């Protein structure tokens, strides 16, 4: 019997997990192929800040790519998909046939549409190549850095750059406090105080109006809505991402903001699955690691002939750089009371419904209670969790 030809598109964690699950489910009955626009196979993008900080080298991402031994087509992105013929056209002109397909090519960074946005020194942070460009800029002639966006990625990048080189790093957030999606204002201010101790500077409640250059080619400063101007030779825009659906627009697959999937991670076209940032489920593109993990697991199993369904975990976010960490689990709306504990370096807050059922939690400074709190969500809250080691 011929092997089932499973093709996976992508370089990130969703592609890596889908590949592993398809291999485990299908065993010797499947032939696996991986297609990616980067120079090597799927790798863990959450490790990229460690590359920028100097804790890891670029070789880590090549040696930890899990696609070794598979049919691999790297630096050769998909241009189009013919779903009727079950064929992919690559940039090189090569045509790849599949029996089942997993689209896990992720997302592309949003970019600011402001004057002089094409100057040298304005960057994004998504790939190993992006990280290497940031490193080159910082190491060669960078005197000050601007981070646009105080979400998880922006803060991780800011801390990584500060660790690599002790230069001025200013983080800009358009809203009134940092991590506005993951934290409430009190928790945000607590985390900000820890980050300021690390040497970061914050500028909140403003938006970038334009970039400026002294020579017409290289970035020299940025101007904001409050009239202020900040000198910078590197601006890293970390203002979110959007699903990379462009290669599949004419394929016949249902696409809203992302590629629409059902609870089997299957698209509107039979035998085509989607996972990770490119996927949309129940009208949402969460862009979360937990969503990528679950959709990739289900897509990998089903594409290889198994039968799995999506059981999405509660919303979660996590960041850890050196000794600075935070997590946000579950929900913060609809609570009837809060329980909190804090000292100078650590903060935890628990959101409870009537009957003291734990809805969600925020933790800053230590992740030692994260697993316990996650297991308690949806259950009766126990104040034993407040007994810190």
Angle, to 10 degrees, between the axis of helix 185-197 and the axis of helix 152-164? 10
Residue 36: half-sphere exposure toward Cβ, Cα within 13 Å: 25
| The pair of three-digit structure tokens given for residue 47, joined into one six-digit string | 């490790």
Phi, psi of 326 (to 5 degrees): -155, 155
Would the pLDDT of 238 be above 70? Answer: yes
CA nearest to 25, candidates 100, 97, 86: 100
Q: What class is the 4-108+241-303 domain?
A: alpha beta
Can you name the residues that pair with 360 across neighbouring β-strands?
330, 351
CA nearest to 162, candidates 238, 223, 234, 239: 234
Distance CA 104, CA 336 (A): 39
Distance CA 56, CA 48 (A): 8
CA nearest to 52, candidates 119, 177, 145: 145
pLDDT of residue 289: 86
| The pair of three-digit structure tokens given for residue 246, joined into one six-digit string | 């462009």
The predicted-structure confidence for 244-271, as pLDDT tens digits, reads as follows 999 999 999 999 999 999 999 999 999 9
Confidence band, pLDDT 50/70/90 cuts, at residue 292: very high
CATH architecture assignment, domain 323-386: 2-Layer Sandwich (3.30)
CA nearest to 149, candidates 188, 128, 120, 175: 175
Beta-strand relationship, 95-97 and 87-90: antiparallel
Share of the chain above pLDDT 90, in %: 78
Confidence band, pLDDT 50/70/90 cuts, at residue 308: very high
Q: Order of strands, edge to edge, in the sheet holding 78-82? A: 78-82, 87-90, 95-97
Distance CA 135, CA 163 (A): 12
Mean pLDDT of 286-309: 94
Q: Do 323-386 and 4-108+241-303 fall under one CATH topology?
A: no
Q: Any idea where the domains of the chain sit in the sequence? A: 4-108+241-303, 122-237, 323-386
Confidence band, pLDDT 50/70/90 cuts, at residue 313: low
Q: What's the Cα-to-Cα distance from 382 to each of 13, 80, 242, 284, 387, rounded to whole Å?
A: 34, 53, 39, 32, 10
Write the DSSP string, 149-211.
--SHHHHHHHHHHHHHS--EEEEEESSSSSSTTT--HHHHHHHHHHHHHTT-EEEES--EEEE
CA nearest to 181, candidates 239, 244, 123: 239
Distance of CA 87 to the CA centre of its chain: 29
pLDDT of residue 148: 98
Torsion of CA 301, 306, 309, 313, to 10 degrees: -30
| The pair of three-digit structure tokens given for residue 161, joined into one six-digit string | 């750059």
CATH 3.50.50.60 fits 122-237, yes or no: yes
| The pair of three-digit structure tokens given for residue 178, joined into one six-digit string | 């940092």
Contacts of 333 (CB under 8 A, 6+ apart): none
The predicted-structure confidence for 60-85, as pLDDT tens digits, reads as follows 887 776 655 578 899 999 999 999 99
Mean pLDDT of 122-149: 95
pLDDT of residue 344: 82
| The pair of three-digit structure tokens given for residue 165, joined into one six-digit string | 């080189």
* Size (the chain), residues: 389
pLDDT of residue 67: 58
Distance CA 32, CA 371 (A): 34
The predicted-structure confidence for 178-234, as pLDDT tens digits, reads as follows 998 888 899 999 999 999 999 999 999 999 999 999 999 999 999 999 999 999 999
Specify whether the CB–CB gap between 353 and 359 falls below 8 A. Answer: yes
Torsion of CA 229, 224, 117, 178, to 10 degrees: 110
pLDDT of residue 68: 53
CA nearest to 197, candidates 344, 55, 380, 5: 344
What separation, in Å, do the N-terminal and C-terminal C-alpha atoms of the chain show? 58
Does this model's pTM top 0.85? My answer is yes
């Amino acid at each position: 019997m011929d092997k089932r030809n499973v093709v996976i598109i992508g370089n990130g964690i969703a592609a890596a997990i889908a590949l592993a699950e398809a291999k485990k489910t299908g065993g010797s009955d499947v032939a696996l192929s991986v297609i990616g626009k980067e120079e090597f196979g799927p790798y863990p993008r959450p490790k990229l800040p460690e590359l920028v900080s100097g804790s890891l080298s670029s070789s880590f991402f090549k040696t930890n790519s899990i696609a070794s031994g598979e049919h691999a087509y790297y630096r050769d992105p998909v241009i189009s998909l013919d779903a009727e013929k079950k064929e992919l056209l690559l940039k090189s002109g090569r045509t790849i046939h599949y029996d089942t397909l997993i689209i896990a090519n992720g997302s592309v960074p949003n970019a600011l549409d402001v004057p002089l946005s094409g100057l040298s020194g304005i960057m994004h942070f998504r790939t190993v190549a992006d990280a290497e460009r940031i490193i080159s800029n910082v190491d060669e002639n960078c005197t000050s850095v601007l981070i646009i966006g105080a979400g998880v990625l922006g803060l991780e990048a800011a801390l990584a750059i500060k660790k690599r080189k002790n230069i001025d790093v200013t983080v800009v957030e358009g809203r009134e406090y940092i991590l506005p999606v993951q934290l409430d204002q009190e928790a945000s201010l607590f985390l900000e105080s820890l980050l300021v101790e690390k040497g970061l500077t914050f500028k909140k409640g403003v938006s970038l109006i334009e970039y400026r250059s002294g020579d017409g080619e290289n970035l020299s400063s940025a101007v904001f809505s409050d009239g202020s101007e900040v000198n910078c030779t590197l601006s890293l825009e970390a203002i979110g991402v959007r699903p990379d659906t462009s290669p599949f627009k004419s394929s016949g697959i249902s696409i809203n903001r992302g590629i629409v999937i059902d609870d089997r991670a299957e698209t509107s076209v039979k035998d085509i699955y989607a996972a990770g940032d490119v996927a949309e489920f129940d009208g949402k593109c969460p862009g979360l690691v937990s969503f990528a993990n679950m959709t990739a697991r289900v897509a990998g199993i089903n594409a290889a002939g198994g039968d799995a369904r999506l059981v999405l975990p509660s919303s979660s976010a996590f960041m850890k750089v050196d000794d600075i960490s935070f997590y946000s689990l579950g929900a913060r709306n609809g609570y009837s009371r809060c329980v909190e504990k804090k000292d100078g370096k650590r903060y935890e807050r628990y959101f409870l419904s009537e009957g003291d059922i734990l809805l969600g939690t925020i933790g800053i400074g230590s992740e030692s209670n994260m697993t316990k709190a996650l297991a308690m969500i949806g259950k009766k809250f126990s104040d034993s969790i407040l007994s810190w080691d």
